Amino acid sequence: MRRPTPLGRLARRIGRFAVSGLLLAAAGTTVLAHPAAAAGLTPVTGFGSNPGNLSMYTYVPAGLPAGAPVVVALHGCAQTANDYYANSGWTKLADTYRFAVVFPQTSSANNSLSCFTWFSPADTARGQGEAASLAQMVAKAESLYGSDADRVYITGLSAGGGMAANMLAAYPDLFAGGSIASGLPAQCATSQTAASTCQYGSLNLTPAQWGDKVRAQYPGYAGPWPRVAIWQGMSDYTVYPVNATELRDQWTNVHGLSQTPSSTASLPGGTTLTSYDDASGKPAVQLYQISGMGHGLAVDPGSGAEQCGASAAYFLDTICSGYWTAKFWGLDQQGGGTDPGQGGEKLPAPAGLAAGTPTGTSVPLTWSAVSGASSYRVYRGGTQVGTPTGTSYTDTGLTAATSYTYTVAAVAADGTVGTVSAAVTATTSGYVPTCTTASNYAHVAAGRAHTGGGYTYANGSNQNMGLYNVFVTHTLKQTALGTYVLADTGC
């Protein structure tokens, strides 16, 4: 629970908290005591000397075998381990793909807004402060659950994302991969005063200079370097989108790669994915840019295979970032397009996959026949959606004005799944306007509006909605992805 401060103190509190309260677009707030962790979380003590004064919680699916991966998930400012457990979607993915999740938690004793202190050298250097505590949690999880030390990953939101980037720099030998959501480059700031420059602007460094900041955290380390996913809302007014570009520059340089994408694809939720492949053709860095999304973690509530998470403040309904991150890390165990445990010689990839004219809810697909195929498997975003016996399929039940990526594979008579085809992307037609009535504070928290000078403005249209607080209420109509207009007189 949070409550606004009197407006007369707003400017003074913005100056005090903006640099440390990354997650709080509402800088004029105070934070009440944290709620207790949910029953699904297990508190873990005795994980080490804990120099960073952190708390450790874990979620472990029932019957998890030894040798499973571990994901460390860092919450944002004014959040708890329980918030991330309940809303991020990582528990669903842990159940699906079979891995353990560590949910670290900081507190107001470390930072007034319970942020991980990503801007403090005393907490981001190898072997010191919060960074050392997080490394101790990984060692504890590996000991408790017999986890695979070669498959440990870290992800985080906002201040948690900044800390995740620093952990990848300080402990590249500990993590196989990372994911940074609405976060900051490693070592972007080394003081609380400098943090606001990172949030709201660019340091104008070259990729090599950004890469040097990573290399300096563990001198002499020669690799391999973690694979890094970067998630950013393009209407984020709390951590500006330039941070995602700088993260891309930083980690492509660390991997010795060009900043020119190897490939670009359109994903659901208005998401553009650019990949940067290593010499073997495997993505080493991926950048996910979400049109119209504000500050928060991308989730997509629902029961579908590509869906995860719950909508809440700073958990924004666009796309399940955890699902795509898990695929990038290889946690989905799809094995390059074949089903685990199936043998036989693989059939070649179908040629000529093409999308016909979409409707608002469907996409028709066709492809060339493969000799020896008894059926085909159609994948949307890597998830199987159809098993036609012919060379056409229409995917239905889709969302209007949304991009979908498809591949197809041939299946032999013995059930062996062949090589997956090249991808094709199609965008459904139309747009279904939606209306939401809420306070200005709630609109900003949900990514429908942003603030400036104590006032609230609708995203896209920039219409002035009045003072930024919980007392002024408006109805906003979404007319396009990332565009909202005032609709108080009717929607």
Amino acid at 457: Y
The pTM assigned to this predicted structure is: 0.66
* 96 and 141 assigned to the same domain: yes
Q: What is the pLDDT of residue 357?
A: 92
- Closest by Cα among 291, 420, 425 to 358: 425
Is residue 243 assigned to a domain?
A: yes
Report the distance separating Cα 242 and Cα 17, nearest Å: 21
DSSP string, 457-487: EETBT--EEEESSSS-EEEEEEEETTEEEE-
Where in the sequence is the domain holding 373, given as residue range(s)?
354-427
Q: What is the pLDDT of residue 422?
A: 85
Q: Look up residue 371 and give its two tokens.
A: 């000799």
3-state helix, strand, coil in the chain (%, to 5): 20, 30, 50
The Cβ of residue 434 has, within 10 Å, a number of other Cβ atoms equal to 11
* 185 and 313 assigned to the same domain: yes
The residues annotated as belonging to the active site are 158
* 141 and 212 assigned to the same domain: yes
Q: What is the pLDDT of residue 397?
A: 87
* 320 and 359 assigned to the same domain: no
* 376 and 442 assigned to the same domain: no
Is residue 339 assigned to a domain?
A: no
The total number of residues shown for the chain amounts to 491
Q: What is the pLDDT of residue 30?
A: 29
pLDDT digits (tens, 9 = 90+) for 333-382: 633 333 333 334 678 989 999 999 998 889 999 999 999 898 999 988 77
Is residue 85 assigned to a domain?
A: yes
Q: What is the pLDDT of residue 345?
A: 60
Is residue 179 assigned to a domain?
A: yes
Residues whose CB falls within 8 Å of the CB of residue 289, separated by 6 or more in sequence, listed in order: 232, 234, 241, 244, 271, 272, 274
Amino acid at 342: Q
- Closest by Cα among 246, 232, 357 to 291: 232
pLDDT digits (tens, 9 = 90+) for 431-485: 667 899 999 998 988 889 999 888 999 998 999 999 999 899 999 998 877 889 9
* 420 and 442 assigned to the same domain: no
Is residue 235 assigned to a domain?
A: yes
Is residue 343 assigned to a domain?
A: no
Q: What is the pLDDT of residue 464?
A: 95
* 142 and 237 assigned to the same domain: yes
Type and span of the H or E element at 423 = none
* 269 and 388 assigned to the same domain: no
* 204 and 265 assigned to the same domain: yes
* 318 and 175 assigned to the same domain: yes
How does strand 473-480 pair with strand 434-439?
antiparallel
Positions of the chain with pLDDT under 50: 1-39, 334-344
Report the distance separating Cα 276 and Cα 278, nearest Å: 7
* 392 and 279 assigned to the same domain: no
Report the distance separating Cα 194 and Cα 216, nearest Å: 19
Number of domains present in the structure of the chain: 3
Q: What is the pLDDT of residue 431?
A: 67
Q: What is the pLDDT of residue 275?
A: 94
Is residue 344 assigned to a domain?
A: no
